[in-house]
Structures are given as structure tokens and as C-alpha cells.
């Protein structure tokens, strides 16, 4: 058990699907050899196939204390990036339309904005995802090299590149498929929760760049942090697929807003914009209680009562959303801990 | 594949039923120019050779055919991890030849593997990625490569006790010569399961895949007589890596 635990809460009612977080992460961490398919932070449209394809269907995680088997995602499941053949079109005089090459077969957020139907109405929302820095990480348990460890000082799950031999048991074990294989280095990689930034008192790049201001970052055990309040005091944020048993430390405020255009006077659960079943699939049975709680809070605010919870969720400034505490997190040395 | 690999099987059957198979055995052996495998038991014989090491490092060099191969049965490790898929046991043995030349021990390993799992992987460029427009690309994320290794204790066994086959014991380290068909060679050491470390050194080795079989030659240090050796083979197409592999028992070098 770590002495502290950094956590992130993402309010899915505020995500624009703009991918600014994705690009911030990509430019900072995965613009290197062998990382072209890696998005440590990705934003996918839900309902949808996800990134990598069908990650929520292919296995991993815990069941009755046992790791569960899973397929290894292939490059097509991540979606290889492609280029456009402007040269042919513009300089070589071939009077053909500009084409993508190689022919794309998939990609991150491949089914952008497709969504699904709720009755006759289309619905979708965006799901930003990073490593969940779980309290019971399946990846850590699956690694025979002890290359993955949870930092005692802040609970961030990291992968030691010197110990990794590229066996990829961790990729199979992670039910969120948030570890990636770099074939050029022969080693696996993952989101590091921007710990070098946190150690300098700066928030994660994905959060810092988010125009929707939907991310909250802090120590879950810090009673003054927004993440602590949202998860433990107001109890309005839930982990993704809690039944996978890894105890994630990334939490989501479920999407419930805006209400349907035609449901004036009716509650969100009576006439929802998104079918409740889909939210139950993603977040488990507690999601219903949370939607009721959030709607009550919204009604109170609309009737003129001030709502500390809604003010917190609006999160106008960085001080409200982020409580980075490098002074509380004493950096531990790992030297000599592993043979 | 199966030309060479079928030949091995035929040779083995012939050894048991020589009168019945005499003519076909002669035909097969002429075709592949091989010496019938010797019974190895738990000992391995190394032949002295005057052939240069560089020549012996070609696993297809004709010099190797003059040394009788020693056939060693392989075993399959049990499932080690909950996430592992079941594996077939389709590589039942390997043939080993050993030659001492120029103060080195040269090892030739030949084993049947119907799938050649290897690739040309770009080397990680020395120049930093910043400002370098071209980045090398990951071509696949779900493939594993055929590999092989030989292991020996770092010192001659004391009192006739050999270290654990599972990568040695604490205080009784082993050296491992590891070859990966796509990534080359690495010298490793270990003192028990889960402790394997790269030393940062590589060693000379050459491999050829022909007729459904890997032919691999490795240049080892001058390993003294009396030292036990153990071998391992990984079949990439059945996701072999780590302890998911074929292994042999310890065999004493004569």
C-alpha cells in the first residue's frame, strides 16, 4: 500500500472530444522511435469500439483473485498512423485525389461521433482514458520480472525500462489495455502520470492543456483535494469497470447532462438522453445513485441555492481543480530494492 | 519443413529397426549427409577441431557433419501464469554438436520448428529523437521470435551438486548465452528464477533456417570438462518467451 495516492477525476459532462490532451501527451511522451501507435492518453467515442479495438471485451483483470487471460492487441487494433500522398498529387502531376497511405483500417477514435441509438435519437459521449494507476494492478502482478512497481510515495504505477524484457504479460493482464509494446526497444511502456511534472509542482500535461477543464488531480488521501471531495465526500465519481478488480485511481463523473430536449419537467432517469444500461455497463450499479445525486444538486442550484459541489465541478481555476503536493510526497529511492 | 525434420524421425526409427529400414535409411542419410545421432545419456561430448572458429560459426559448414549429433529430449515448462494460453509440445528434441577450437567451445544446435518466427527490426538510432523527423516504427505488437539458449553454472559444481535448472540458485549463479532470431545475442546471468540480468555483452552466433529447422552456431567461452550444460528453445508462434519454453535437463560436458 502506498503512503499517498495521486488520483484523477474526469467529468465526462465536460469533455469536448477535442483531443488536446491526447496531443499534449503524445508530444511530451510518445513522439519517439517505436511509439507511433501509442497514446498513453486517448479519447474515444462511447458507445464505440475503443482504443485499442474492443479493449473492454478482450479480457484481463481479476476474477476470484485470479488474473484473467486476454488477447494481445495487434498493430491494427491500435491503428497505424497514415500519411497522405500530397507529393504525387501536387508535384508529380498524377491527377488522382489525395489518398491516405497505407490504406487506413482502424485508428484511435476510429468511430468518432458514431455513437448509438436511444430510441430514435443518436447519442454519444467522449471517454478520455489514461492508465488508472490501480491500487491492485493486474499488470504488476503479471510481470515475472518485477519490472512494474507502484511508487510507495505517491501510488503512481511505473514500468522499469531496465528490468522489462518485453514479455507483454502485463498488456494481457491490464483490463484497460493501457500498456503498450515498443518493438524498437523491445520493451513495454505506459503512462507515468507525468510524475516528473508532479515532482516540480506542475499538473499532468493532459490536465494542464484541457480546454474543457474536466480533469481534477490531487492526492486521494488529501482531505483538501478536489479528487478526495469528489470521490469520498460528494461521492459523484466512479472508476471504469469496477468489476475488473484492479481498484483504479482514475474516476469519472458519469455523463448525465444535458437532458433530452423534449423531457421538460421529467427527471433524467425517467427520460434519459443516454440509456442507463450503457452507463451501468461502464461504471457498475452505483452510477444510478450518482446521477440522482447530481440531478438533485442541479435542481437545487437552479432553484437559487448555492451548490459547493457544482462550483467544484465547474472548477473555474487551476487552484480549484489541482492540488499537487510535492512537499507531501517524499521521493523514495529504489536503488538496491531489486536485484 | 519437414524434409530435415522427417529425416530425423526416420533416422530414429531406423536406429530401432535396422534390418527393416536399411535401404531407406541409407538413402535418407545420403540425402542430408548427416551422421546418425549418438545416444547422449546425461553426458555431452565435445570434439577437438582444427577448423577455424569463423568456419564453425557457420551452422551449415560441412565440418559439422563430421561430428555426430547428440540428441537431447526437451521438456515443456508447465503453465506459469494465469494469463497464459495452453501450448503444444511440437519440438520434442534438439540435436547438439560441440567442437573445441582456438580455445573456444563452439556449439551447434539444430531443432525442427515448422514456423520461422523472425523479423528485421530497426535498430534504435543513437541520435536523440528531438528534432529528428524520421522515427523508427513498431511493425507489430503481438509477435514473438524464435529463440534458443544454453546455460551453465559459473563455477564447476561443488560436491557434485548442480544448481537449480530454474536459472541457478542464490549464491550459485549461472551464465546464459541467449540468442533471439530477430534481436541477436545477449549474455545473461542469474541466481534463481526471476533474477536473470543482461550483462551488456553479446557473443558471436549465426543461424540459418532451412527445411523447417533452425541451425544455430554459437561461440561460447572455453567451458571446462565436467561442467553441466542445459538448453532451452522458444517457439515464437506459440507466444513462447520467458519461462514459457522448451528446456532440457543438465548434461555434463565430458
Average pLDDT over residues B29-44: 53
H or E segment to which residue B181 belongs: none
pLDDT band at B37 (very low <50, low <70, confident <90, very high): low
Contact map slice: A 35-74 vs B, CB within 8 A = 35-37, 60, 66-70, 72-74
* CB A185, CB A34: distance < 8 Å: yes
Which of B82, B138, B191 is opposite residue A36, by nearest beta carbon?
B138
For A263, the grid coordinates are: 423531457
pLDDT band at A116 (very low <50, low <70, confident <90, very high): very high
Residue A34: list chain B partners with CB under 8 A.
Answer: 124, 135-138
Q: Are strands A250-253 and A6-11 parallel, antiparallel or unpaired?
A: parallel
Residue B186 forms contact with A (CB below 8 Å): no
pLDDT, tens digit (0-9, with 9 covering 90-100), for A146-171:
999 999 999 999 999 999 999 999 99
Contact map slice: B 84-123 vs A, CB within 8 A = 84-85, 121-122
Which of B138, B194, B242 is opposite residue A184, by nearest beta carbon?
B138
* CB A219, CB A154: distance < 8 Å: yes
Residue A84's DSSP bridge partners are: A100
Q: How far is B220 from chain A (nearest CA, A)?
A: 23
**Per-residue pLDDT at A333:** 57
All structural domains of chain A with their residue ranges: 6-77+109-323
Contact map slice: A 185-224 vs B, CB within 8 A = 185-186
Residue A73: list chain B partners with CB under 8 A.
Answer: 141-142
Residue B73 forms contact with A (CB below 8 Å): no
Return the CATH architecture of domain A6-77+109-323. 2-Layer Sandwich (3.30)
Residue B191 forms contact with A (CB below 8 Å): yes
For A19, the grid coordinates are: 483531443
**Per-residue pLDDT at B6:** 57
**Per-residue pLDDT at A259:** 76
ipTM attached to this prediction: 0.91
* CB B169, CB B161: distance < 8 Å: no
**pTM for this predicted structure:** 0.90
Verify whether the Cβ–Cβ distance A339 to B195 is below 8 Å: yes
Report whether pLDDT(A243) > 60. yes
Other beta carbons less than 10 A from residue A223's beta carbon:
9
Mutate which of B77, B79, B80, B83 to disrupt the A interface (most A C-beta within 10 Å)?
Answer: B83
- How many angstroms separate the CA atoms of A261 and A313, rounded? 23
Using alpha carbons, select from A48, A123, A125 the residue that is nearest to residue A79.
Answer: A48
- How many angstroms separate the CA atoms of B52 and B168, rounded? 32
Mutate which of A79, A81, A169, A183 to disrupt the B interface (most B C-beta within 10 Å)?
Answer: A183
Residue A32: list chain B partners with CB under 8 A.
Answer: 129, 135
Cis preceding linkage at A325, omega within 30: no
Residue B16 forms contact with A (CB below 8 Å): no
Mutate which of A55, A169, A175, A337 to disrupt the B interface (most B C-beta within 10 Å)?
Answer: A169
Verify whether the Cβ–Cβ distance B121 to A183 is below 8 Å: yes
Residue B135 forms contact with A (CB below 8 Å): yes
Task: Give the CA distances from residue B173 to residues B154, B157, B169, in Å, rounded to whole numbers and listed in that order.
Answer: 6, 11, 6
- How many angstroms separate the CA atoms of A260 and A266, rounded? 10
Is the Cα torsion angle A134, A135, A139, A140 positive or negative in sign? positive
pLDDT, tens digit (0-9, with 9 covering 90-100), for B149-193:
999 999 887 777 889 999 999 989 999 999 999 999 999 999 999
What does the DSSP assignment read for B148-164? EEEEEESSPPGGGPPPP
Task: Give the CA distances from residue A119 to residues A257, A271, A277, in Å, rounded to whole numbers and listed in that order.
Answer: 18, 11, 13
pLDDT band at B139 (very low <50, low <70, confident <90, very high): very high
Residue B134: list chain A partners with CB under 8 A.
Answer: none
Q: What percent of chain B has pLDDT over 70?
A: 83
pLDDT band at B39 (very low <50, low <70, confident <90, very high): very low
Residue A82 forms contact with B (CB below 8 Å): no
Mutate which of B141, B180, B182, B197 to disrupt the A interface (most A C-beta within 10 Å)?
Answer: B141
Verify whether the Cβ–Cβ distance A35 to B139 is below 8 Å: no
Amino acid at each position: 500500500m502506498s503512503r499517498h495516492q495521486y488520483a484523477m477525476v474526469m467529468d465526462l459532462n465536460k469533455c469536448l472530444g477535442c483531443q488536446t490532451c491526447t496531443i499534449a501527451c503524445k508530444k511530451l511522451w510518445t513522439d519517439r522511435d517505436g511509439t507511433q501507435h501509442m497514446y498513453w492518453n486517448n479519447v474515444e467515442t462511447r458507445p464505440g469500439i475503443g482504443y485499442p479495438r474492443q479493449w473492454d471485451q478482450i479480457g484481463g483483470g481479476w476474477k476470484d483473485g485470479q488474473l484473467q487471460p486476454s488477447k494481445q492487441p495487434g498493430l491494427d487494433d491500435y491503428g497505424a498512423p497514415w500519411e497522405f500522398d500530397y507529393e504525387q498529387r501536387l508535384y508529380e502531376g498524377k491527377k488522382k485525389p489525395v489518398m491516405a497511405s497505407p490504406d487506413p483500417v482502424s485508428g484511435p477514435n476510429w468511430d468518432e461521433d458514431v455513437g448509438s441509438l436511444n430510441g430514435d435519437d443518436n447519442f454519444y459521449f467522449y471517454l478520455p482514458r489514461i492508465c488508472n494507476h490501480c491500487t491492485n494492478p493486474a499488470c504488476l502482478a503479471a510481470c515475472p520480472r518485477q519490472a512494474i512497481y507502484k511508487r510507495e510515495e505517491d501510488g503512481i504505477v511505473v514500468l522499469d525500462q531496465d528490468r522489462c524484457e518485453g514479455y507483454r504479460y502485463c498488456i494481457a493482464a491490464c483490463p484497460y489495455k493501457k500498456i503498450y509494446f515498443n518493438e524498437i526497444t523491445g520493451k513495454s511502456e505506459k503512462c507515468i502520470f507525468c510524475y516528473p511534472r508532479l515532482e516540480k509542482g506542475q499538473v499532468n500535461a493532459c490536465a494542464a492543456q484541457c480546454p474543457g477543464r474536466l480533469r481534477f488531480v490531487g492526492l486521494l488521501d488529501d482531505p483538501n483535494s478536489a479528487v478526495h471531495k469528489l470521490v469520498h465526500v460528494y461521492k459523484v465519481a466512479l472508476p471504469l469497470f469496477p468489476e475488473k478488480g484492479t481498484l483504479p485511481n482514475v474516476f469519472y463523473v458519469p455523463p448525465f447532462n444535458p437532458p433530452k430536449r423534449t423531457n421538460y419537467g421529467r427527471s433524467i432517469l425517467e427520460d434519459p438522453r443516454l440509456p442507463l444500461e450503457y452507463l451501468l455497463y461502464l461504471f457498475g450499479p452505483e452510477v444510478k445513485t450518482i446521477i440522482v445525486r447530481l440531478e438533485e444538486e442541479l435542481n437545487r442550484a437552479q432553484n437559487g441555492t448555492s451548490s459547493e459541489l457544482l462550483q467544484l465541478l465547474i472548477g473555474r481555476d487551476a487552484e480549484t481543480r489541482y492540488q499537487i503536493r510535492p512537499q507531501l510526497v517524499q521521493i523514495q529511492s529504489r536503488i538496491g530494492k531489486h536485484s | 519443413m519437414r524434409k530435415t525434420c522427417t529425416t530425423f524421425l526416420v533416422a530414429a526409427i531406423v536406429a530401432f529397426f535396422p534390418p527393416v529400414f536399411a535401404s531407406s535409411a541409407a538413402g535418407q542419410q545420403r540425402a542430408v549427409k548427416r551422421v546418425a545421432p549418438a545416444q547422449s545419456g546425461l553426458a555431452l561430448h565435445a570434439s577437438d577441431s582444427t577448423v577455424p572458429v569463423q568456419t564453425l560459426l557457420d551452422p551449415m559448414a560441412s565440418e559439422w557433419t563430421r561430428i555426430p549429433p547428440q540428441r537431447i529430449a526437451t521438456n515443456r515448462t508447465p503453465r506459469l501464469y494465469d494469463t497464459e494460453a495452453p501450448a503444444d509440445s511440437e519440438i520434442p528434441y534438439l540435436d547438439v554438436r560441440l567442437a573445441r577450437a582456438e580455445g573456444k567451445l563452439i556449439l551447434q544446435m539444430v531443432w525442427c520448428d515448422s514456423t520461422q518466427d523472425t523479423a528485421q527490426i530497426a535498430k534504435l538510432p543513437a541520435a536523440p529523437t528531438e528534432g529528428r523527423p524520421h522515427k523508427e516504427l513498431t511493425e507489430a505488437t503481438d509477435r514473438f521470435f524464435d529463440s534458443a539458449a544454453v546455460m551453465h553454472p559459473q563455477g564447476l559444481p561443488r560436491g557434485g551438486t548442480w544448481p537449480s535448472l530454474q536459472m541457478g540458485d542464490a549464491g550459485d549463479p549461472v551464465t546464459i548465452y541467449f540468442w533471439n532470431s530477430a534481436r541477436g545475442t545477449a549474455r545473461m546471468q542469474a541466481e534463481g528464477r526471476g533474477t536473470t540480468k543482461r550483462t551488456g555483452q553479446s557473443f558471436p552466433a549465426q543461424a540459418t533456417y532451412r527445411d523447417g529447422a533452425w541451425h544455430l552456431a554459437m561461440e561460447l567461452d572455453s567451458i571446462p570438462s565436467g561442467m553441466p550444460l542445459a538448453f532451452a528453445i522458444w517457439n515464437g508462434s506459440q507466444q513462447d518467451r520467458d519461462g514459457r519454453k522448451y528446456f532440457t535437463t543438465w548434461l555434463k560436458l565430458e
